[in-house]
């Protein structure tokens, strides 16, 4: 109900005591009654309610929350009655308390702590906690990420993350170091944050944490060899060469490793 001007009958004298609008109440509404009239009345002020204004006479009080606040039962005002000289709420009501109102409910477990202000749990942000927070993407070995951030972090380099102006909020670019490529053969991949999870911008998105940068060898490492560094193959036992393309005998391998004479490929029958 809207608190405007409420009137109630006095217990004695058949007079009328007016109530002023709640937002106009600054001091006691009327003087303390004389001792002869105090019996059965509440001659002390009603209890204070945080973020509320109180209009009262000595038998009834109206409590109205300030703008941006509401009572727990969503009523616009609450009544206190004087019972045996004590201010008392109705039996079916709790003591009036004003709670903050937010234009929209605080989402994702957020709590409305003052008018239109939500305190969000970890991992969420926004006026009403409706947005998932994107933490910087996890560093990818042998790569760095160009990632958007708050203005004070622009241009900062940190554990494989480079914060710059040219990257839009909620997106990042993973770039492999020179000499390294991704499984797809690309050297760079765009990722974006979706509900606090970084996903690749592909026809079939995958988690950014699955991105790997591996060393690139221009020529395929043959005979079971592995590319262990840019342009460098690690050969299986019994093979040598830039691409592990050459098979060597046991004697040639031993001489070559000992350094007693230059490497010389021997016929297979000598091994």
The predicted structure's pLDDT at residue 38: 53
User: What phi, psi does 151 have (nearest 5°)?
Assistant: -55, -35
pLDDT at 92: 61
Contact 228, 215 (CB under 8 A): yes
Q: What pLDDT, on a 0 to 100 scale, did the predictor assign at position 126?
A: 87
Q: Record the pTM.
A: 0.46
> What confidence tier does 263 reach under pLDDT thresholds 50, 70, 90?
very low
pLDDT digits (tens, 9 = 90+) for 225-247: 999 999 999 999 999 999 999 98
Tell me what the mean pLDDT of segment 253-268 comes to.
50
Question: pLDDT of 197-230, one tens digit each?
Answer: 888 888 888 898 899 999 999 889 999 999 999 9
Nearest to 70 by CA among 1, 151, 131: 1
Q: What does the pLDDT read at residue 223?
A: 93
User: Residue 163: which residues within 8 A CB-CB, separation 6 or more?
Assistant: 146, 147, 148, 149, 153, 154, 155, 156, 157
> Phi-psi region for residue 155, left (φ > 0), alpha (ψ -120 to 50) or beta?
left
Question: What is the C-alpha separation between 236 and 163, in angstroms, rounded?
Answer: 42
- The domain segmentation of the chain, as residue ranges, is 7-98, 102-133, 143-215, 226-270
51 or 35: which leads in pLDDT: 51
What average pLDDT is seen over the chain? 74
Higher pLDDT, 135 or 243: 243
End-to-end CA distance of the chain: 103
**Of the CATH numbers 3.30.1120, 1.10.10, 3.30.960, 2.10.25, which one belongs to the domain with range 102-133?**
2.10.25
pLDDT, residue 93, reads: 67
| Residues 3-29 pLDDT 10s | 444 444 445 444 444 444 444 444 444
51-77 mean pLDDT:
86
- CA 271 to CA 254: how far, in whole Å? 10
- Pair of tokens at residue 56: 């009262």
Ordered strands of the 143-147 beta sheet: 157-158, 161-163, 143-147, 171-176, 188-194, 197-200
| Burial group, residue 84, by CB count within 10 angstroms (0-12, 13-18, 19+) | exposed
Confidence (pLDDT) at 185: 83
pLDDT band at 157 (very low <50, low <70, confident <90, very high): very low
The per-residue pLDDT for range 159-189, each reduced to its tens digit, is 444 444 445 567 788 889 999 999 888 888 8
């Amino acid at each position: 109900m809207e608190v405007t001007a409420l009137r109630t009958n006095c217990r004695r004298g058949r007079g009328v005591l007016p109530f002023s609008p709640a937002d106009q109440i600054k001091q006691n509404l009327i003087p303390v009654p004389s001792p002869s009239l105090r019996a059965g009345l509440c001659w002390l002020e009603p209890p204070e309610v945080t973020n509320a204004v109180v209009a009262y006479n000595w038998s009834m009080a109206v409590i109205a929350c300030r703008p941006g606040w509401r009572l727990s039962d969503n009523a616009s005002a609450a009544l206190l009655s004087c019972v045996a000289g004590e201010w008392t709420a109705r039996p079916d009501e709790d003591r009036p308390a004003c709670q903050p109102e937010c234009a929209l409910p605080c989402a994702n477990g957020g709590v409305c702590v003052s008018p239109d202000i939500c305190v969000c749990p970890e991992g969420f942000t926004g006026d009403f906690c409706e947005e998932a927070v994107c933490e910087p993407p996890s560093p990818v070995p042998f790569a760095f990420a160009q990632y958007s951030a708050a203005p004070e972090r622009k241009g900062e380099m940190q554990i494989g993350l480079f914060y710059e102006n040219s990257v839009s909020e909620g997106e990042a670019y993973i770039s492999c170091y020179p000499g390294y490529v991704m499984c797809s053969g690309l050297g760079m991949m765009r990722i974006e944050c979706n509900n606090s999870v970084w996903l690749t911008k592909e026809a079939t998105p995958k988690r950014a944490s699955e991105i790997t940068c591996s060393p690139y060898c221009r020529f395929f490492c043959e005979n079971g060899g592995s590319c262990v560094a840019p342009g460098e193959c690690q050969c299986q036992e019994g093979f040598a060469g830039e691409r592990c393309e050459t098979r060597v005998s046991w004697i040639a391998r031993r001489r070559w490793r000992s350094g007693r004479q230059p490497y010389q490929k021997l016929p297979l029958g000598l091994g």
